[in-house]
Structure 1
Amino acid sequence: MLRRSFLAWAGASGLTAAASVAGYLQWREITPVVHAPGREEGHFLRDRKPLPAPSQALSTDVLILGSGVAALTAAWQLRKAGHGDFLMLDGPAPYGNAAGGRFGDLAYPTGAHYLPLPTQDCFHVRELLSDLGVIVRGADTRKPYYDERFVLHGPEDRLLFNGVWQDGVLPHEGVPAAELAEQKRFFAQIDALRSAVGADGRRRFTFPSERSSMDAEARRLDAMSFAAWVAQNGYRSPSLLWYLDYCCRDDYGAGTGEVSAWAGLHYFCGRGGEAENAEQGAWLTWPEGLQALASGMERLARPKRLAGSAVRVRVDAGQGVEVLCFALERGVARTFTIRARRVICAMPLHVAARVVENMPDVHKQIHAPWMVSNFVMKRFPRELPHAPLSWDNVVHGTPGLGYVVSTHQDIRVAPPEKTVFTSYVALSGRDPREARKWMTAASGEELLALASADLRAAYGLQFESCVERVDITLRGHAMAVPVPGFRSDAGLLALREMDGPVLFAHSDLSGFSVFEEASWWGYRAAQRALRG
């Protein structure tokens, strides 16, 4: 498959067959290292393989199941309140979608890589950023002052469109005037919606999304697809339609036809944080992505972490909660139990449904599979003219979501000798189950062909000679897709309101996976756990 896809790309680029074959043979010398965090444990749990009797029994006041953003937020809040009697069971994928990695001195993300400036509504995120020193002062004001090391530097983003780089991600150079006018009309409509208030007095779009309006208009938007809303409002510009679909794939792992209109609009209307020392809507980023925040919360929380995953969560009347846990060691399972007064279940809901006894039914959430691929570069490739290498680099018309540069925030006289290009691909446009099957069965060469598509389009044959190593991270259930009707699901509403021995805390409760939502549920669960 790699040879066929490489030759097809070479032919489309006008390269000779001899040159393309030479480039292909050189590329084949690099064998990617493929990671699938949580796959072995997840399949073990799914297949209900027999387990040995527990070899150990532990107890704690509060047990946190998981070690992603929601779990770490809960741990940070517990510790901040002076409550130290808690344990954290890591789960199969430590740090979840906020994980990162290192190659020598080079750090890179293997999950999410940025955080938009939080608005005042997102007080829980501002509190965290203040505790971590990312906000230097004014966390409760409209415009806090941020540590400039973490505010995204320019050039921020660019788009390869019709073979030429241009600033920004929305196509505009070489786009007909009628399309530009339609783009302008769309963003004028977004500006109006950004400040809209529902009939229930709530902002129509905000973070955390739980605090957004749920009036009749919100329910109408949630019941239809974003593509239907776009068509209903008369938007037909190819450049705008591509951009809207790209934004949905980038945040939700699915296109405009699969996500609800409410979710599509929330992407544009829910944010817009301000800062004393940055432009409105600026971003925060780190070389290792959001692992910088996850690791920071871990330092603040100082949790006692245990390796392993929950296999059964059972509430015992009057005796708290008993959790049966397992850990795989070279494919062999050992088990132990943990008894707690309260359990914060910070795991994906499709996993929790297999673990938590008598859990309320939730509509069958669709989870989008993703690939995050890190290319360790021994040198920077030569750039096409017009727009310089940016933090985010997107190629128009490909299945990929572009690539980010891990050393972008470095301030030095000359660029570093080496860097990491991180490529993102959401396997949208196909049934997620079939996409996961393909990811599981695909060879390293097939994965590499897809992971490198945007980079090969940007740099041609020279790219391969610049690469030293490739690490591909497969996230089969990376994020819940906010499909039409997701906000009104009775099961989700029930889980959000549970305030008993088991508390739920995961971005799945919101129906989509972003830092602001995951941290909100962890924050709220900790407050409830502290109430006794």
Structure 2
Amino acid sequence: MQRRAFLHLPAAALALSGCEPAPAITGGFTGINVARGHALRDLGTPPAPRATRRTQVVIAGAGVAGLAAARALRLRGIEDFVLLELEDDAGGNARGAAVGGIACPQGAHYLPLPGADAHEVQDLLEEFGLRRRVAGRWQYDELSLCHSPQERLFFRGAWQEGLLPLAGVGADTLAQYRRFAAQVDALARASRFCIPALRAPFTAQHAALDAQTADAWLRAQGLTDVHLRWYLDYCCRDDYGAGLQRVSAWACIHYFASRHGFRAPQASATPEDLGAQGGADTENDAVLTWPEGNAWLTRRLAAPLGERLHTGHSVLRIRTERHGVAVDALRHADGSVVRWQAAQCIVTLPAFVAARVIEQPPAWLVDIARNLAYAPWLVANLHLAAPLQDRPGAAPAWDSVVYGEPGGGLGYVDARHQSLDPRPGPTVLSYYRALGDLPGARQQLLTQPWGHWRDAILAALAAPHPDLAQRLTRLDITRYGHAMAIPQPGTLRRLRQLSAAITDARGAQTANVRSGRLHFAHADWSGYSIFEEAFTRGHAAGSAV
């Protein structure tokens, strides 16, 4: 059923189909204060500060990179610093909440097990007791590893295990799955792909992939199967906020080659084997997750900071002076401006914000800010009074996705999936939409009323869950106007040229982007936004101050 047809059904028809009219559902926008985000634009010329304070280091922004920078300072014994954060709590895109008393994410909701190149993240997991070495092998906390079943796809009227479409697909589709798997393997052997991406040399092959869209590269390889393209488009939207026609071919290949590859069903697989394999492309690889998502990590990073963390502060201006840095911040509690004098500043703001608040920004910062595109995101937390009736096929999983869902939908995760309580009961489904492909998406996200998104979400999930409106009691929506940078063609090349020009004292390539007394740390400097990239950048800046 199309969304428009669903929304125009009369209430009686909805009731007969197992749905009740949506107006009984409560909820609203939460998590992000849009007015604060636009404070600098609305203020015009920042007012003079009422008070001046001094510290050794100012960290502008308390997202993952800012929290990582603070941890790196503390590891070095530097305790005289402050973090200035726009929102009422730290974490950036990795924050969480509770709806109806049930913890749930408001953004990023999992962390893949880090590889050897992400050693800073590995150290963090050891510090938090999430991994330890036993008899020479690393073991991860069983309670934090995603419980099985991990993923399922609503495809052709039923649920299947895994996210790669397999149920009833033809031989041509399976052949294209295998051809793409072979391409990923060949490219990974020819050039290294890793996370953090900076730790892989930028080769001519990387440059060629970065120069074109994923869509163009797939067509050039003759990979045009509708099911393969849907799956790859989903993967790109999941990590980058936009699909095959916007992200670079490098980004599409990096998604697989930097992690677990792409494992297609074997040529000898029978239809029964395909059902058992359930999406054997390896989205089955282990991840760490918690009911509140990656807020489990960011809250622990923020906990030791105490009064050094200043939430509800908008950074208005950063000025380099003769003997240090002056940072002006609007304190939203009383509308006053406070000036922080420091020896150095770690700027963990998105590039476009950094270019706006820094007086006389360097030309390379302006260039990066001008050329980065950002994907808006919507995260909706749906509180259910009781479990939903299920369609045939695979059992309920942590992550459930609807094949072909329009509007940028990425499905939902179940906040109670990690619970050890087997009894069915109320839960929260965290539903995601990546809007980077939709024209005017940011304006729509910020101007459309809550009811518009409520109806769109109910329509999107109507096929697998016709009783959703009957079970749904509350729907809270978090809006991110600039959720993440999109790795479009040319993004990686531009950032690599920058990192090659900014080196440490020994002339070696570094994850710390620096200009005088300013250190820049944000996932933007990697060209795409995941926890490992942001954390590594923040750690490098905190280690370099």
What TM-score does the superposition give when structure 1 sets the normalisation length? 0.89
Q: Which residue number in structure 1 is paired with residue 403 of structure 2?
A: 396
Change (3 A) 1:300 1:209: farther
Q: How many residues align?
A: 504
Partner secondary structure for residue 112 of structure 1: coil
Query: Is 1:172 matched with 2:179?
Result: no
Which residue identity is paired with 2:171?
A
1:109–1:422 contact (8 Å) kept in structure 2: yes
Partner secondary structure for residue 38 of structure 2: helix
1:119–1:272 contact (8 Å) kept in structure 2: no
Report the Cα distance in structure 2 between the residues aligned to 1:502 and 1:453, rounded to whole angstroms. 48
Report the Cα distance in structure 2 between the residues aligned to 1:88 and 1:224, rounded to whole angstroms. 39
2:20–2:470 contact (8 Å) kept in structure 1: no
Q: How far 1:223 sits from its partner (Å)?
A: 0.7
Report the Cα distance in structure 2 between the residues aligned to 1:345 and 1:466, rounded to whole angstroms. 44
Partner secondary structure for residue 383 of structure 1: coil
1:70-92 residue CA offsets vs partner (Å, 9 max, x unmatched)? 00111111112221111111124
Residue in structure 1 matching 2:385, options 355, 358, 378: 378
Residues 397-406 or 44-53, more deviating: 44-53
1:199-252 residue CA offsets vs partner (Å, 9 max, x unmatched)? xxxxx2101111122121111111111111111222111110100001111111
Partner secondary structure for residue 97 of structure 1: coil
Q: How far 1:351 sits from its partner (Å)?
A: 0.7
Query: Is 1:220 matched with 2:227?
Result: no
Residue in structure 2 matching 1:57, options 43, 52, 55: 52
1:31–1:444 contact (8 Å) kept in structure 2: no
Report the Cα distance in structure 2 between the residues aligned to 1:118 and 1:55, rounded to whole angstroms. 45
Change (3 A) 1:154 1:303: farther
Q: How far 1:409 sits from its partner (Å)?
A: 0.8
Report the Cα distance in structure 2 between the residues aligned to 1:440 and 1:91, rounded to whole angstroms. 18
1:379-410 residue CA offsets vs partner (Å, 9 max, x unmatched)? 10111121111000000111310000001011
Residue in structure 2 matching 1:238, options 226, 237, 252: 226
Query: Is 1:294 matched with 2:310?
Result: no
Residue in structure 2 matching 1:114, options 102, 110, 115: 110
Report the Cα distance in structure 1 between the residues aligned to 2:302 and 2:473, rounded to whole angstroms. 32
Report the Cα distance in structure 2 between the residues aligned to 1:107 and 1:270, rounded to whole angstroms. 31
Q: Which residue number in structure 2 is paired with residue 162 of structure 1?
A: 156
Which residue identity is paired with 1:9?
F
Report the Cα distance in structure 2 between the residues aligned to 1:260 and 1:138, rounded to whole angstroms. 41
Query: Is 1:501 matched with 2:517?
Result: yes
Q: Which residue number in structure 1 is paired with residue 144 of structure 2?
A: 150
1:31–1:445 contact (8 Å) kept in structure 2: no
Partner secondary structure for residue 264 of structure 1: helix
Query: Is 1:90 matched with 2:85?
Result: yes
Q: Which residue number in structure 1 is paired with residue 314 of structure 2?
A: 309
Query: Is 1:257 matched with 2:264?
Result: no
Report the Cα distance in structure 2 between the residues aligned to 1:76 and 1:364, rounded to whole angstroms. 31
Which residue identity is paired with 1:112?
A
1:428-466 residue CA offsets vs partner (Å, 9 max, x unmatched)? 3323xx111112221221111223344322111x11111
Change (3 A) 1:177 1:365: same
Which residue identity is paired with 2:181?
F
Q: Which residue number in structure 2 is paired with residue 201 of structure 1?
A: none
Query: Is 1:229 matched with 2:217?
Result: yes
Partner secondary structure for residue 461 of structure 2: helix
1:36–1:475 contact (8 Å) kept in structure 2: no
Q: How far 1:162 sits from its partner (Å)?
A: 1.3
Report the Cα distance in structure 2 between the residues aligned to 1:475 and 1:443, rounded to whole angstroms. 15
Q: Which residue number in structure 2 is paired with residue 355 of structure 1?
A: 357
Query: Is 1:451 matched with 2:451?
Result: no
Unaligned runs of 5+ in 1: 199-203
Q: How far 1:354 sits from its partner (Å)?
A: 0.7
Residue in structure 2 matching 1:482, options 484, 487, 494: 487
Report the Cα distance in structure 2 between the residues aligned to 1:173 and 1:6, rounded to whole angstroms. 25
2:20–2:469 contact (8 Å) kept in structure 1: no
1:294-353 residue CA offsets vs partner (Å, 9 max, x unmatched)? 011123555611131211101112x11011111223xx6310100111110011111111
Residue in structure 1 matching 2:5, options 5, 8, 12: 8
User: RMSD across aligned C-alpha pairs, in angstroms?
Assistant: 2.5
1:57–1:337 contact (8 Å) kept in structure 2: yes
Query: Is 1:283 matched with 2:299?
Result: no
Report the Cα distance in structure 1 between the residues aligned to 2:355 and 2:200, rounded to whole angstroms. 27
Change (3 A) 1:40 1:188: same
2:3–2:460 contact (8 Å) kept in structure 1: no
Q: How far 1:35 sits from its partner (Å)?
A: 2.5
2:383–2:428 contact (8 Å) kept in structure 1: yes
Report the Cα distance in structure 2 between the residues aligned to 1:516 and 1:272, rounded to whole angstroms. 16
Report the Cα distance in structure 2 between the residues aligned to 1:524 and 1:65, rounded to whole angstroms. 15
Q: Which residue number in structure 1 is paired with residue 527 of structure 2?
A: 511
Partner secondary structure for residue 239 of structure 1: helix
Report the Cα distance in structure 2 between the residues aligned to 1:324 and 1:428, rounded to whole angstroms. 32
Residue in structure 1 matching 2:193, options 194, 202, 205: 205
1:6–1:20 contact (8 Å) kept in structure 2: no
1:73-119 residue CA offsets vs partner (Å, 9 max, x unmatched)? 11111112221111111124731100110135410000000011100
Partner secondary structure for residue 172 of structure 2: helix
Q: How far 1:24 sits from its partner (Å)?
A: 6.9
Query: Is 1:365 matched with 2:372?
Result: yes
Query: Is 1:468 matched with 2:473?
Result: yes
1:115–1:284 contact (8 Å) kept in structure 2: yes
1:125-166 residue CA offsets vs partner (Å, 9 max, x unmatched)? 000011011113369x7x521010011111111111111111
1:51-76 residue CA offsets vs partner (Å, 9 max, x unmatched)? 44312111111111111100011111
Q: Which residue number in structure 1 is paired with residue 538 of structure 2?
A: 522
Which residue identity is paired with 2:121?
V
Residue in structure 1 matching 2:416, options 398, 407, 411: 407
2:99–2:428 contact (8 Å) kept in structure 1: no
Residues 223-232 or 512-521, more deviating: 223-232
Query: Is 1:30 matched with 2:18?
Result: no
Report the Cα distance in structure 2 between the residues aligned to 1:44 and 1:185, rounded to whole angstroms. 50
Change (3 A) 1:272 1:473: same
